[in-house]
Amino acid sequence: MATESNDIRNAVLLRCAEAQEKIRAACAACGRDPAGVTLMAVTKTVDPVLVNTAVSAGIRVLGENRVQEYLSKRDAYDPAAEVQFIGHLQTNKVRQIVGSVTLIHSVDSLHLAEAVEKAAAAKQIVQPVLLEVNAAGEATKSGADPRFLPDLLRQVMAMPHLEVKGLMTIPPPVAHESEADAMFAQIAALHQKLQQIAPLPVLSMGMSGDYTSAVRHGSTMVRLGSALFGPRIYPQKGI
């Protein structure tokens, strides 16, 4: 059993090294400094032991998707890493997340922003956030319509307990890399345009299947789950 556990941890270390090297290569291909790209480990369903293995490999940012799962695991995480929230955030769970994570990626409406503002004000803190954009207009996904993003940005910027750091997007799965390139180019152009309103240093885009393309289009943060930890294993219902 110990040998099997060591093998799994070693596989995580290897995948972390491979991802870091691919990011360096993607940056070299477009003349970017790799220091400008943060590699986030997405921890949904991942045992804290393996999460901490990734931290030991130099990954210092963790991404949580689910509030209850995060609350059940956070005390087991290596304190060398910071935790950010990247999942859909329900307004009734905002108070559990505000002030507990260093960045909320998924503010996609004025209603949610107001809930985060209220919770941050109650705790007397300023909560950094990203605005989530629905790049492809998918009805099944959260995210603000790109057409309305300038107005949303101005409204959230006016909230004294929120700090807008940039944009996040989850593009749809694509069959060809050229499609991913087109989507990332669109979001990068939007990000650039919005910087006429305010400095937005963070562009969170790119996941396990497309992160090198995202880096080539200016992503400052890629969110990797299966690329680091292998195929996601969901617990069986009723157990």
Who's near 158: CB < 8 A, 6+ residues apart?
none
Query: Average pLDDT for residues 175-197, to the nearest whole number?
Result: 88
The percent of the chain in helix, strand and coil, each rounded to the nearest 5, is 45, 15, 35
Q: Which amino acid is at 223?
A: R
Tokens of 36: 């400008």
Is the torsion defined by CA of 3, 57, 14, 38 positive or negative? positive
Per-residue pLDDT tens digits for 16-73: 999 999 999 999 999 999 999 999 999 999 999 999 999 999 999 999 999 999 999 9
Who's near 119: CB < 8 A, 6+ residues apart?
94, 95, 98, 99, 127
DSSP secondary structure string for all residues of 140-188: TS--B-GGGHHHHHHHHHT-TTEEEEEEEE-PPP-SSHHHHHHHHHHHH
State how far the Cα of 132 lies from the Cα of 97, in Å rounded to an integer. Answer: 17
Please check the confidence at residue 175 and state whether its pLDDT lies above 80: no
Give φ, ψ of 64 to 5 degrees. -105, 140
Q: Please, where are the H alpha helices in 34-174? A: 48-56, 67-73, 94-97, 110-123, 149-157
- Report the interhelical angle of 2-30 vs 48-56 (nearest 10°): 50
Contact (Cβ atoms closer than 8 angstroms) between residue 97 and residue 115 = no
| pTM attached to this predicted model | 0.93
Per-residue pLDDT tens digits for 161-174: 999 999 999 887 77
Per-residue pLDDT tens digits for 71-126: 999 999 999 999 999 999 999 999 999 999 999 999 999 999 999 999 999 999 99
Strand bridging mode 221-224 / 82-85: unpaired
